[in-house]
Structure 1
Amino acid sequence: MGLRRLLVTGLGGTLAPHLARAAEAAGWQVLGWDRRRIPVDDEQAVAAHLQASRPDAIAHLALGSPSWSRGLAEHAAQQGLPLLYTSTVMVFDHEPDGPHRPQDERTSKDDYGRSKIAGEDAIRGAHPGACIARIGWQIDEHSSGNNMLATLEQWQREQGRIAASRAWIPACSFMTDTAQALLALIEEPAAAGRVVHLDSNAESALSFDQVVQGLARRFERKAWRIEVNEDYRHDQRLADAGPARLPSLTDRLAQKP
């Protein structure tokens, strides 16, 4: 019997490579998606590629159109495959305030959040058994792209300071922890059909200035000039009544790299 085959979209991004490494360590064969060869908005090409690649599960982490999400979900539903779609805390606006729960109304007003709402709806409409995992800002020492630590470094480099609001409680987690949690959801039959919130700060409730100060200590960023303000107000935490799937942010910030 061969390795289980996990199709992971978004391997050119930041989080998907972490998931791929975790999956390979757990005995999966990871399949990617080359958009140059298989255009994501060509429904026939998408369907043909899925039939040819024969994945045993699908993890959809890439940005893309609702039609691509729908095509992946339709194939997974037809074949009875686990499907995980990674969404975002940005489906929620800061009004009404959080903590935000899986069943809460999605209130986003920005383009990114609304695009992820459309992706969620496309996935759920085509595959009611899919798992939707909403995540916050990711933290990693080595990744570039949409990574909190890299962004803070950029702010310090370009502005000579890091402005951090004490009135914002962000949803955030370390990428390696999120990747392990996503893999567990793929492998967990009970996750089918659920919306799951993954946020290491859900219980810690650290404000953004506390997170930044904790990162500066953990990664020895002594040159950071942190300026605390109250410019942005939002309890952005992703609360979930289910089991804790991530270590607490307080504990993670106390650890050495």
Structure 2
Amino acid sequence: MKILVFGKTGQVATELQRLADVHALGRQDADLANPDACAAIIRDADADVVINAAAYTAVDKAEQEEDLATLVNGHAPGAMARAASAKGIPFLHISTDYVFSGQGDTAWATDDPVAPPNAYGRSKLVGEQAVQAAGGAFAILRTSWVFSSHGANFVKTMLRLSESRDELNIVDDQIGGPTAAKDIAQALLTMAHALVEGSPGGVFHFAGAPAVSWKDFAVEIFRQAGRSVAVTGIPTSDFPTPAVRPLNSRMDCSALTEAFGIRQPDWTESLAIVLEELKNAD
């Protein structure tokens, strides 16, 4: 199966390249700020399936650059999905729990009402709607709290801070499922094979279990890494950011299990693998 991947250096795109023989396109090859050019790449490509693992991910900066975020996260995936549809090949797209309001304490189901609380979430919702409207075979995978041994992420930030600090204040009223990029990549590959073989697509959720706060995530990172850091929980109101962050990022992943047999990974096990990779890279 020939897989075309938009994205090359991001966390999920990197893991896709580690796990499978894919044709990955970096920013120099495919600029998502030019949706027509991205669509043309698909039209000219010899591919059986397309995975979009590229995105505008600067959540706070998107508050000032919503037009650019919407171009990259919204209009480009739409153009790509229409091109894939015209060729009769499936299109897989990564989205986010940020399309929901972030309120309440119940895990978000795939058909729950959407109400993005910030510009980034709105831009991703535009992309979801455009992909669904393209008319072809598609799968949208909403995920959350991505981490890996490469790129910028919470795990690496915590380890870096622990080098110089023995006490940290971490938000403890935002709850979600940390998700390893490798687990996301494996899920996408499983889905891609199934869609190529004719399985129905749709919108799905994928996140690590169990759900925890950022504070408890940090505590487990330090425990597994053998770092002596005292972690104090603080409310989101004590850590203001330009973009509103969801308090509830819990995700109901049952639809993905039912459709593809993909179960929620235990993020503590995936964390151990990432920490070992980072240790070996030192």
Fold-level match, TM-score > 0.5?
A: yes
Query: Residue 106 of structure 1: which of 110, 114, 139 is its match?
Result: 114
1:117 is the counterpart of 2:125? yes
- The separation in 1 between residues aligned to 2:165 and 2:46, in whole angstroms, is 49
Distance 1:36 1:247 in 2: 33
Counterpart amino acid of residue 215 in structure 1: I
2:117 corresponds to 1:85: no
Q: 1:156 to 1:191 in 2, by over 3 A?
A: farther
What RMSD over aligned residues (CA atoms) do the two structures have, in Å? Answer: 2.7
The more displaced of 37-46 and 235-244 is 37-46
CA offsets per residue over residues 7-39 of structure 1, 9 Å max, x none? 111212222110122122xxxxx2233444554
User: Do residues 225 (structure 1) and 269 (structure 2) align?
Assistant: no
Give the structure 1 partner of residue 16 of structure 2: 19
Residue identity in the other structure for 2:118: D
**Which of 159, 162, 172 is residue 168 of structure 2 equivalent to?**
162
Q: Does 1:234 align with 2:247?
A: yes
Give how far 1:223 is off.
Answer: 4.2
Q: Which residue of 1 is the match for residue 279 of structure 2?
A: none
Alignment of 1:1-257 (within 5 A): 4-24=1-21, 30-42=22-34, 44-63=36-55, 64-140=72-148, 142-145=149-152, 147-156=153-162, 161-189=167-195, 192-201=200-209, 204-220=210-226, 222-231=227-236, 234-242=247-255, 243=257, 244-252=262-270, 257=276
Gap regions ≥5 residues in structure 1? 25-29
Structure-1-length-normalised TM-score: 0.82
1:131 and 1:191 in contact (8 A); partners too: no
SS of the residue corresponding to residue 188 of structure 1 reads helix
SS at structure 1 position matched to 2:111: coil
For residue 151 of structure 2, what is the amino acid of its counterpart? S
CA distance in 2, matches of 1:187, 1:57: 9
Rounded to whole Å, the distance in 1 between the matches of 2:161 and 2:109 is 31
Describe the shift of the 1:46–1:212 C-alpha distance in structure 2 as closer, same or farther (beyond 3 A).
closer
Residues 76 and 127 in structure 1, CA contact (< 8 A), matched pair in contact too: no
CA distance in 2, matches of 1:157, 1:91: 35
For residues 90 and 164 of structure 2, the distance between their equivalents in structure 1, rounded to whole angstroms, comes to: 43
What secondary structure does 2:254 align onto?
coil
Structure 2 counterpart of 1:27: none
Shift of 1:101: 1.1
| Structure-2 change in CA distance of 1:21 and 1:167 (3 Å) | same
**Conserved 8 A contact 2:30-2:37:** yes
Offset from partner CA, 1:123-178 (integer Å, 9 cap, x none):
111135310000111122x2122x22123235556876432334332221122112
Deviation at 1:229, TM superposition (A): 2.8
Equivalent pairs, count? 244
The 1:234–1:45 alpha-carbon spacing in structure 2 relative to 1, beyond 3 Å, is closer
| Residue 62 of structure 1, CA deviation | 0.9
TM-score after normalising by structure 2: 0.76
Unaligned runs of 5+ in 2: 56-71, 238-245, 277-282
Q: Conserved in 1, the CA contact under 8 Å of 2:144 and 2:176?
A: yes
Q: Are 1:98 and 1:234, in contact at CA under 8 Å, matched by a contact in 2? A: no
Q: 1:214 to 1:38 in 2, by over 3 A?
A: closer
User: What fraction of aligned residue pairs are identical, expressed as a percent?
Assistant: 24
How far does the alpha carbon of each residue in 1:204-231 deviate from its partner, in whole angstroms, 9 at most, with x for none? 23333222111112222x1433122344
Structure 2 CA distance, aligned partners of 1:144 and 1:65? 19
Corresponding letter in the other structure for 1:72: M
CA distance in 1 between partners of 2:73 and 2:3 (Å): 21
Greater mean alpha carbon deviation, residues 44-53 or residues 33-42 = 33-42
